[in-house]
Structure 1
């Protein structure tokens, strides 16, 4: 997730973590508007065992998130 966010070319990235009900939510924000789509990140997260994952673009950059069972 960090590799994809860094690859967006922004000057900073943010990592946010939270947990609830034996699951952890990991969110990475690239802070780069209009990033180039990366079609490889979601399949890699699924291979690592993410129960759910996604990506979207927002005015403050691309968000990549994964929900992991603890």
Structure 2
């Protein structure tokens, strides 16, 4: 969430899903355009136990996502 909020958009959304004893968590900044890359976020997510994680930007803003074992 911290990374999505730092983009400076007017809103942030969080999306959750589960499948096969794993949870997918996605934070979306809703700020169009290219956001500056945050190189610290992925190692932090891995350190918190993310099985896999990533970040990308698109027309609807930056997405930061992580998959965690339940």
TM-score tier by shorter-chain length is over 0.9
Question: Structure 1 stretches of 5 or more lacking a match?
Answer: none
SS in 2 for 1:36: coil
Q: Give the TM-score taking structure 2 as reference length.
A: 0.95
SS in 2 for 1:37: coil
Runs of 4+ in 1 over 6 A off after TM superposition: none
Q: Partners in 1 of 2:40 and 2:29 — Cα distance?
A: 16
SS in 1 for 2:23: strand
How many residues align? The count is: 69
1:1-70 equivalence runs, <5 A: 2-33=1-32, 34-70=34-70
SS in 2 for 1:38: coil
Q: Partners in 1 of 2:9 and 2:35 — Cα distance?
A: 9
Question: Structure 2 stretches of 5 or more lacking a match?
Answer: none
Q: Partners in 1 of 2:60 and 2:8 — Cα distance?
A: 13
Q: Give the TM-score taking structure 1 as reference length.
A: 0.95
1:3 is displaced (CA, Å) by: 0.5
